[in-house]
Structure 1
Amino acid sequence: MSSDAIRSQHTAPGALPRSERLGPADRLRGPGTVARRAWRGPFVRRLVVADAVCAAAASAVGLLVRFGPTDTGIASASLVIAATLPAVWIFAMLVASSYESRFLWEGPEEFRRVFFAAALLLAIVGTVSWGLELEVARGFVVIALPLATLLTLAQRQAHRWWLRRQRVQGRFQQTTLLVGHRNGVMAMREQLHRDVSHGYRVIGCCLPADSGTPETWEGLPVLGGPEDVIEVVRRYEVDTVAVLPSPELDGSALRRLGWELEKTRADLLLAPSVSEVAGPRIRVRPVCGLSLLHMERPELRGLRLVVKESFDRTCAAVLLVVLAPLLVAAAVAVRIDSPGPVFFRQERVGRDGHAFAMLKFRSMQADAERLVTRLTALSDGNGVLFKMRNDPRVTRVGRVLRRYSVDELPQLLNILKGDMSLVGPRPPLPSEVERFGVEMNRRLVVKPGLTGLWQVSGRSNLSWDDSVRLDVHYVDNWSLMLDLTILWRTVGAVLKGDGAY
């Protein structure tokens, strides 16, 4: 008999049924933790099978490319390696812990471990073949192992995309309890609600009882205080507890909380005060017997900056050559569609506050700037930027150019000149800079970008606060890998056209 059935037998006569006595969090809880996590096992097994298929495909391609379809003189050692590569590949992934749930679904650690497993396997094959003097075709190894790595990374990314789509539709969620003070809890809640693809469903919070604890606060159920976390976790079968900085949960209290949560199935997440700083900049270092977080300096100077600028200008030059037919066609269409210049020049503010003339294909009628004051009341922007979904100033060709961001391509010339980067914060107007606070002035440390986090996160649909957060996050956490990731996501954002107006 279930625990609910046992309790129902002892319900006092005339008392409300349990379903009618449940609070908001009870109704949101749904199945227990075990049921909510039941999808993880099949998901990991699919990864294992897909990894094996990738290794088998890489083996076949390696043999075909190295020896050809009719060659019968394949070395026996190469055949043995090709036949056993799928099993050895899975073993290497297991050794690298690439199937552990703490490394899956989020963050780059899963991909780092795939690379580690591939490098380890390459070293083992090389060492064993040299030590035992095996006749292994180097061409096969050079083709098969890198190809297996690329295919594995691709299928794992595809699995992530699939999982995120499922989570957006409300599946594979994990219930989350927020613990901390009101402002921190609300900020964390908004952050988690901003991107539901991560799968955290907030069911309530635990707030300090400094001024009385209401049943709900800002629509979020208040389930107790910091001292009630364990009871709340057990009562609602919470999957994840996210603790924000608060004096009520100091070092010893957090340590005890961690010990108690070990007796449950709940995961413990600690949100540092510098939560906007990316993981690669944070290192745990032992100091005087304490484990302290060391925050590395942003990668904004020196050799890394030289690499970024070289990468920007090289890519801009290549893109100008490759896209030349499209640029010429767009220029001709702008000239034919409406009277006025082909290019629109506008003063923007770049790195260290230096102004420059940013180029675009003209997508509006020639006197569009004079009409802004008449249309200000109809703005669909975020309160700071003027934007209209159906701007009457936009020409017919201009709507097409904006839909696919073709109007932005002349900024490749700004990149060649050195005023802009391929990836960076959104280039601000001088009037916007005058309204900047301390945080927004941080974005002027780097060059503005043709694309950026704002471009791949909604563009004109973003609020001003979100735009600020994304720009500052980029500046504080820049890396070449982040630039490559944003460029890859830009392709999808442009094709999707969300927020392009």
Structure 2
Amino acid sequence: MTTVENARIAALRSSFVATPVAAPTIVAPATRAIASPVTTAALERRQRWERYYRMRLVWTDLVIVLASAGLAAWIQIDTIAQVDLTDAPWQYGRVFLVTAAIWLLLLALFQSRSSRVMGQGMTEYKRVLHATGLAFGILAIGFVLMQSQGIRSQLLIAMPVGIVGLVLSRWLWRRWLQRQRVAGLYVSRAMVVGNRHDVEYVLSSLQADGRMAYHVVGITLDTGEDSEIVVGGEHYRAYGDLRSIASQATALGADAIILASTPDEDRGFIKRLSWQLEGTAAELVLSSPLVDVAGPRMSLRPMEGLPLIQVEIPTFEGGRHLTKRAFDVALSSIALLFIGLATPFIALAIKLDSRGPVFFRQRRVGRDGVEFFMLKFRSMHVDAEQQLEKLKQQNEGSGPLFKLKSDPRVTRVGAFLRKYSLDELPQFWNVFAGDMSIVGPRPPLLAETKEYGTSTYRRLYIKPGITGPWQVSGRSHLSWEESVRLDLRYVENWSVVGDFRLVWRTVGSVLKADGAY
């Protein structure tokens, strides 16, 4: 091969060798400053009082749990002190420590002191009861498997004493919290947002609530108008528009936003607003259009991109109603024993005050329109029915109800009986017999039912009660419309736990004697 050919081959080979290319220079864009939302003074204030109140509950729970478990251990040790005390202090001391630790841990895990349940509703009490029940269930299983001594006294003494103590302490702290809120402390500063009609409805509902959980510092109307709304004699100033809610909340020191309504054409409004409120507010509250539907009937059913609110349709038969009947029979049986002891004294007072029978029987309408005779201690003169026609023009009641604050038909003893609802005690016999319930709508007269509208008849879907929402919400001070609304809400949303709560609240209402005449 010649020198020329070799040179050609070398040149050809060099043409296939890749020439190194300099790597391109990548210029990084200007980095944008990214930082988490900064907590505002209003939100810090909200978190501060929530922590303060929560710590009060923590220390109270700690004292009650330690005292209950310690009492059970001490009684157990004292019981066997005369038999054999060799291993007792360590054995029962260990049970005491384990019981207290698990009990306190479950109270924390069940979030019984969460800010979402503090101050109102039954959820806080339910979580306390569920945590306590599970704690002692775990303890019972564990100590049985380990053949350990001392759990029996904890179950028989610590659990009931602790439950009573915990529930009572939570109730007392709620009363303290409500007094603080009346003084303007421990409240959420709220803004109400939406169209004028829905904003007015939310404001009136907050006023009627009476627990002062929210203090409205301003409103924002969807029209953006700078005006003022007057609800219940209170003046509320409108600020800004829907695009400036977060900035207005900061300016007004609001830590809660209540959405009375949202723009129909903007589905992403709530999500964007929640982003804007990060670091500014603690909660974004959505006002539901489901009026008078209680929480237990509503549940969230999440779907991809579509959170659905499921509403359970009320039923008026079944196991829950059998439980209500069992509750009625048990409570009325106990009440009749004490009423039997008091009846001779009440009967003597009625007889000495005016002539006539001790008891008054009146025809009332019960469940499904069935009539029955309701019993009461007589509180009026025997000719009260004949005097009614002459007094109708002085009626101070609303709707078909007849009420007269200074009714001349009422006797002196009758006025005292009515003031403290003692005249209604014989109705426990109606409950025992099955005509009435302890808790339910007010039993109407036949003449009243003839003036009922279509929806008002729903009051007759369940048995009438001795007490009910009307009894604890103003009694004779309520308007007819408000009385009907409360009764219908009860009919559709009642629960056994709610009945216990109404019975408890009735005791306070009777002692105050507010609205009774």
| TM-score of the aligned structures, taking structure 1 as reference length | 0.86
Per the alignment, residue 405 of structure 2 pairs with 389
1:412 aligns with 2:412: no
1:171 aligns with 2:185: yes
Greater mean deviation of Cα atoms: 344-353 or 201-210: 201-210
Shift of 1:481: 1.3
* 1:374 to 1:184, Cα distance in 2 relative to 1, 3 A: farther
* 1:49 to 1:358, Cα distance in 2 relative to 1, 3 A: same
Per the alignment, residue 149 of structure 2 pairs with 136
Q: Distance in 2 between matches of 1:340 and 1:134?
A: 69
1:214 aligns with 2:227: yes
Match of 2:488 among 457, 472, 492: 472
Shift of 1:467: 1.0
- Aligned pairs for 1:21-420 (under 5 A) are 32-35=42-45, 38-68=48-78, 71=81, 72-73=85-86, 74=88, 76-83=90-97, 85-126=99-140, 128-129=142-143, 133=146, 135-142=148-155, 143-209=157-223, 214-218=227-231, 219-248=235-264, 251-287=267-303, 290-382=306-398, 384-420=400-436
Q: Distance in 2 between matches of 1:158 and 1:405?
A: 26
Query: Cα deviations across residues 89-125 of structure 1 (Å, max 9, x unaligned)?
Result: 4333222222321232222222232233324433443
Q: What residue identity is the alignment partner of 2:179? A: R
2:171 aligned counterpart, secondary structure: helix
Q: What residue identity is the alignment partner of 1:465? A: E
Query: Cα deviations across residues 140-193 of structure 1 (Å, max 9, x unaligned)?
Result: 331324432332222112111211222234332222222223332222212211
Shift of 1:246: 4.3
Query: Cα deviations across residues 30-63 of structure 1 (Å, max 9, x unaligned)?
Result: x945346543222211111111110121122202
Higher-Rg structure is 2
Q: Are the aligned partners of 1:347 and 1:355 in contact in 2 as well (CA < 8 Å)?
A: yes
Q: Distance in 1 between matches of 2:118 and 2:459?
A: 32
Shift of 1:234: 1.8
Q: Distance in 2 between matches of 1:372 and 1:169?
A: 45
Q: What residue identity is the alignment partner of 2:334? A: V
Q: What residue identity is the alignment partner of 2:114? A: E
1:64 aligned counterpart, secondary structure: helix
Q: What residue identity is the alignment partner of 1:173? A: V
Aligned residue pairs: how many?
469
CA-based RMSD = 2.5
Shift of 1:363: 0.7
1:387 aligned counterpart, secondary structure: coil
Query: Cα deviations across residues 209-239 of structure 1 (Å, max 9, x unaligned)?
Result: 29x6634455322224434322321221212
Q: What residue identity is the alignment partner of 1:59? A: A
Q: What residue identity is the alignment partner of 2:127? A: R
* 1:368 to 1:115, Cα distance in 2 relative to 1, 3 A: same
Q: Are the aligned partners of 2:193 and 2:257 in contact in 1 as well (CA < 8 Å)?
A: yes
Percent identity, aligned pairs only? 38
| TM-score of the aligned structures, taking structure 2 as reference length | 0.83
Query: Cα deviations across residues 305-332 of structure 1 (Å, max 9, x unaligned)?
Result: 2222233234323322221021232223
Query: Cα deviations across residues 63-91 of structure 1 (Å, max 9, x unaligned)?
Result: 23323267134162321232465455433
Q: Distance in 2 between matches of 1:432 and 1:227?
A: 51
Q: Distance in 2 between matches of 1:493 and 1:296?
A: 31
Per the alignment, residue 13 of structure 1 pairs with none
Q: Are the aligned partners of 2:221 and 2:238 in contact in 1 as well (CA < 8 Å)?
A: yes
Q: Are the aligned partners of 1:75 and 1:136 in contact in 2 as well (CA < 8 Å)?
A: no
* 1:134 to 1:274, Cα distance in 2 relative to 1, 3 A: same
Per the alignment, residue 481 of structure 1 pairs with 497
Q: What residue identity is the alignment partner of 2:403? A: K
Q: What residue identity is the alignment partner of 1:41? A: R
Per the alignment, residue 22 of structure 2 pairs with none
* 1:140 to 1:42, Cα distance in 2 relative to 1, 3 A: same
Q: Distance in 2 between matches of 1:346 and 1:223?
A: 57
* 1:117 to 1:377, Cα distance in 2 relative to 1, 3 A: same
Greater mean deviation of Cα atoms: 70-79 or 266-275: 70-79
Q: Are the aligned partners of 1:226 and 1:249 in contact in 2 as well (CA < 8 Å)?
A: no
* 1:270 to 1:359, Cα distance in 2 relative to 1, 3 A: same
Q: Distance in 1 between matches of 2:435 and 2:185?
A: 45
Q: What residue identity is the alignment partner of 1:188? A: V
* 1:134 to 1:354, Cα distance in 2 relative to 1, 3 A: closer
* 1:110 to 1:311, Cα distance in 2 relative to 1, 3 A: closer
Q: Distance in 2 between matches of 1:466 and 1:265?
A: 34
Shift of 1:288: 5.8
Q: Distance in 2 between matches of 1:235 and 1:452?
A: 43
Structure 1 residues not aligned, in runs of 5+: 1-30
Q: Distance in 2 between matches of 1:368 and 1:249?
A: 62
Q: Are the aligned partners of 2:143 and 2:151 in contact in 1 as well (CA < 8 Å)?
A: no
Query: Cα deviations across residues 382-410 of structure 1 (Å, max 9, x unaligned)?
Result: 45422222222211100111111111112
* 1:70 to 1:166, Cα distance in 2 relative to 1, 3 A: same
Query: Cα deviations across residues 399-436 of structure 1 (Å, max 9, x unaligned)?
Result: 11111111111212222332211110011223322332
